Structure 1
Amino acid sequence: MIIGSDVIYQSAQAAEDMFQAMEILQGKINLTGLHYIDDETAAINLEMALLWKSINMEISRQ
């Protein structure tokens, strides 16, 4: 949830993808001033978050 911000998601899947991405990136996604998130944007954000997580896990193994 973003305090003081209203966001409309194109679908429940878009909302789920964005919330998953926000959980992975914890504080690194800024939705200030954003009012609409479509399915493609949400899916891309989630994919980027998962890549970031994977890269960081690989780095920490070294």
Structure 2
Amino acid sequence: MSAFKWQKSSYSSESLNCIYLAVAPDRSVKLRESDDPEIIVTTTPGKLRALLRGIKDGEFDHLTT
């Protein structure tokens, strides 16, 4: 397992699949999913912010219907 300090949302429970976030020493953001924690996606704070705004604004809703 990696040495990052992973954080899980307070909205997640132990019985749900969860997304974990960590900030690397170079300030990049790391993401992993609880089902396969060895796969880590790296992004920037700005790109993560844009993704979260798009999710909140419904930009990706057409992908789930």
The TM-score, its normalising length taken from structure 1, stands at 0.31
Which of 1 and 2 has higher RCO (CA within 8 Å, sep 6+)? Answer: 1
Structure holding more strand per residue: 2
Structure holding more helix per residue: 1
The TM-score, its normalising length taken from structure 2, stands at 0.30
